[in-house]
A = this chain, B = another copy of it.
């Protein structure tokens, strides 16, 4: 694929796409668990200024508790989950939209039985996340019911 060519990426079934691989969430294990990533727009050959990724978090999993200057726009599409943003925790379900502003500390979690899936849109040029370490060494606990919004 030459960079900056228009393209249609065909959905196969159940949030999988032709020629799109499932990858680890990040290259290094750290404060995340049970989360995988599919890069739909933004692979090596892409020259798009915006990247589109699809994430799935299985039961009990969570993304890194982190912050960065770049923004996230998230579109929930499968199952349900929670997002921690600064001091609040929100339950999210399909077609809820999340805007994560620059430097907000955030984390996506799945304390539910079914897989939680969402698109996440970012600028191609973005800063590296700063990870928040906790005592447990794995970020934010999944038992967050006290802070629900």
Contact = CB atoms under 8 A, between A and B. Distances in A.
Interface of A: 4-11, 15, 17, 40-41, 46, 48-50, 52, 71, 73, 75-77, 83, 85-86, 90, 92-102, 104, 106, 119, 121-123, 149
Contacts of A4: 101-102
A109 to B, nearest CB: 14
25 contacts: A4-B102, A6-B99, A7-B98, A8-B85, A8-B96, A8-B97, A8-B98, A9-B98, A9-B99, A10-B96, A11-B93, A11-B94, A11-B97, A15-B95, A17-B95, A40-B97, A48-B71, A50-B50, A50-B73, A50-B122, A50-B123, A52-B121, A75-B119, A77-B77, A77-B95
Contacts of A102: 4
Nearest to A9: B97
A57 B113 CA distance: 36
Query: Among A6, A73, A77, A122, which residue has the most Cβ atoms of chain B within 10 A?
Result: A6
Contacts of A73: 41, 48, 50, 52, 121
A52 B52 CA distance: 12
Nearest to A94: B11
Given A6-B100, A11-B93, A97-B17, A49 B75 contact: no
